[in-house]
Amino acid sequence: MDFSEQLRRFCERVGDRRAVALILTGSGQTDTAALLLAALQPQRVAFLLTPETHNFPERVTQQIELSPDPNWLREEVHYTDIKQVYRALRAIIEKWSDLPREQILVDLTAGTKVMSVGLAKAAYVLDLGTIYIESDYEQNRPKPGTQRLIDPPDPYEVFGDLEAEEAARAFNTHDYLRAEQIYADLARRAPEPDRATYAALRQLADSYIKWEAFDLKAAAQTLQSLLSKPLPAKLAHHHNVLQAQQTALAHLVQTISAMTQSARALATLKDLDAVLPLLGSLHANALRREAQRRFDTAALLRYRCMELMSQHRLATYDVLAEEPDLDTLKQRIPDLDQRYRQVEQSLGFQGRGLQPNRNGAYNPITLLNGYMLLAALNDPLVQRVEPIEIRNRSHVRNRSILAHGFRQITEAEYCDFVEVVEELLNQFFAIGQRSRNDWEALYRFVTV
């Protein structure tokens, strides 16, 4: 059978399918490349050639009466050097960087077995599409006219489970960005029902990425979108927790919005139910950083927990730490200034009392000043932890390169600091008559 008849039959089987970009390998026979060029009519073409096949493009075009295009790319490789094949493919896709990679097809038909294996591996790693011309055989030889275009199965069928395991490891070690990237790739390539499962896992990872970055509105919307449809089996047992987390996130969005309005800030801070979602987000985030041994970041988050607890307790006395009105408080408690001076002296500070600045207003209350004021008020939050302990232990945060210092916090320093924060948390929940265990469970991110 002459080649023109083979091409006619092949084009009938291909139908209207066309290729945007095609990568071909040089070989001793030109039929495969000629069929693909003529049938798929690619807009861009690249050849992987060896010194022995340098004239392959000219021989192919001569077979189908086509003139070689000067824009065709030519990369020289060695048949047995898979690394060189990979580098050649990288060079081609960099030159075609304006194209989505799935629009670039690599032909696996021609060339040696080593070349085909190398191409398949490199195409998989580089996320390129692959095609193959299959034929019937007679006496161990391809039967002319039976050629048909095949899309080889995605290697995901072999490696997908391994990638899913890697994504789960990343997710469960709080590397949600890495997990989201892998799940997104799997969701694009996997068949159903795995496709829906990986899409849901990607969405969950994305919501946790946003929550950790305190992009709270986006996190709430993403989690709500996930919960708007039935969860796949791998997440179904987490439904109640995820629903509770979405509710907490929505509440937290409202809290943050209220805190930007001065008129509502004090009432919001006074409301324990408004404070707990923010405190939970900070605390759970600190625990995840601690698990990753990122003690400097964990210390900053723990420090903010301490600050938020004092801000809430001060709000119960109608004191907004950002804009404190201490004159009203001193009128209600006439000896408050004297008590505060005593607390100052117990820390070795000069007793200055609660005095306004030159403008007649009071400066914002810092973390230590807040706990000193709570001590002067005999607030139950500081019944078990003296302000001097808070000052001494919180120095670890100040020495951090992420705060005011120039070095990393050691694990021993961090653990010493955590003891004070944990004691304050226990007392905070005892005062509020809430379950700390239930609170921690609510803000602990699920595992997969």
pLDDT digits (tens, 9 = 90+) for 374-408: 999 999 999 888 899 888 877 766 666 656 555 67
Per-residue pLDDT at 405: 58
**Under 8 Å CB-to-CB from 335, ≥6 apart: which residues?**
none
Task: Please say whether the dihedral angle defined by the alpha carbons of residues 387, 388, 392 and 398, taken in this order, is positive or negative.
Answer: positive
- Which of 302-306, 406-410, 427-431 comes out lowest in average pLDDT? 406-410
- The correct CATH number of 3-152 out of 3.30.160, 2.10.25, 3.30.420, 3.40.50 is 3.40.50
Strands 141-142 and 104-107, how do they pair?
Answer: unpaired
SS3 219: helix
Per-residue pLDDT at 210: 97
Per-residue pLDDT at 261: 76
123, 92 contact by CB (below 8 A): no
pTM: 0.71
pLDDT at 158 over 60: no
DSSP H helical ranges for 97-148: 113-126
Compute the mean pLDDT over every residue in the chain, rounded to the nearest whole number: 90
For residue 57, is the peptide bond before it cis, meaning its omega torsion is within 30 degrees of 0? no
Distance CA 33, CA 92 (A): 18
Query: pLDDT tens for residues 75-86?
Result: 988 766 778 888
Query: pLDDT tens for residues 354-380?
Result: 999 888 899 999 999 999 999 999 999
Nearest alpha-carbon partner for 353 in 378, 336, 374: 336
Nearest alpha-carbon partner for 400 in 416, 389, 391, 413: 413
- Which of 3-17, 91-105, 155-169, 355-369 comes out lowest in average pLDDT? 155-169
Distance CA 302, CA 298 (A): 6
Distance CA 118, CA 126 (A): 12
Instruction: Find the mean pLDDT for residues 153-162.
Output: 66
pLDDT at 182 over 60: yes
Nearest alpha-carbon partner for 414 in 389, 428, 394: 394
Query: pLDDT tens for residues 200-257?
Result: 999 999 999 999 999 999 999 999 999 999 999 999 999 999 999 999 999 999 998 8
Task: Please say whether the dihedral angle defined by the alpha carbons of residues 324, 213, 300 and 246, taken in this order, is positive or negative.
Answer: positive
Strand order in the sheet with 104-107: 73-76, 44-49, 21-25, 104-107, 129-134, 148-150
101, 128 contact by CB (below 8 A): yes
Distance CA 374, CA 361 (A): 20
Instruction: Give residue limits of the domains in the chain.
Output: 3-152, 157-227, 261-351+361-443
Per-residue pLDDT at 122: 85
Distance CA 213, CA 210 (A): 5
Per-residue pLDDT at 189: 80
Query: pLDDT tens for residues 219-235?
Result: 999 999 999 999 999 99
Instruction: Find the mean pLDDT for residues 338-357.
Output: 91
Instruction: Find the mean pLDDT for residues 299-326.
Output: 95
Distance CA 50, CA 79 (A): 7
Instruction: Find the mean pLDDT for residues 176-196.
Output: 90
Per-residue pLDDT at 259: 82
